[in-house]
């Protein structure tokens, strides 16, 4: 399995693809991250064409079990960030 791309590598690749400097590419990546974070935190969803959809799902209160002790306890309702991968990306990975 290939190593995950670091933010530095991503910024360098983005700068190369955009034909600009790393500072501009880093600012663009940070701005995109901020926009996605704000939208998903407010309960919205963001679709990145060709990549997928990022959204927040609310989970109800439920009973869970501690695997070490077997003790059951109630877990409060919470939110979970989900990503649905786009078909185009799946198809390009699978060949």
pLDDT digits (tens, 9 = 90+) for 11-68: 999 999 999 999 999 999 999 999 999 999 999 999 999 999 999 999 999 999 999 9
| Interval 76-90 mean pLDDT | 94
pLDDT of residue 31: 96
Q: What is the pTM of this model?
A: 0.78
Tell whether the model's pLDDT for residue 2 goes beyond 90: no
Give the count of domains, the chain. Answer: 2
Tell whether the model's pLDDT for residue 85 goes beyond 90: yes
pLDDT of residue 95: 83
**Rounded Cα–Cα distance for residues 7 and 10 (Å):** 5
Q: Are residues 61 and 27 in the same domain?
A: no
Q: Are residues 95 and 52 in the same domain?
A: yes
Residue numbers of the domain that contains 15:
1-42
What is the Cα Rg of the chain in Å?
A: 19
Within 10 angstroms of residue 25's Cβ, the number of other Cβ atoms is: 20
Q: Are residues 1 and 47 in the same domain?
A: no
pLDDT of residue 86: 95
């Amino acid at each position: 399995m290939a190593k995950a791309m670091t933010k530095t590598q991503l910024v360098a690749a983005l700068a190369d693809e955009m034909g600009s400097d790393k500072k501009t590419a880093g600012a663009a990546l940070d701005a995109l991250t901020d926009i996605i974070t704000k939208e998903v935190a407010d309960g919205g969803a963001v679709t990145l064409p060709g990549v997928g959809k990022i959204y927040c799902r609310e989970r109800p209160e439920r009973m869970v079990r501690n695997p070490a002790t077997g003790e059951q306890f109630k877990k409060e309702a919470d939110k979970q960030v989900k990503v649905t991968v786009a078909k185009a990306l799946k198809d390009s990975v699978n060949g």
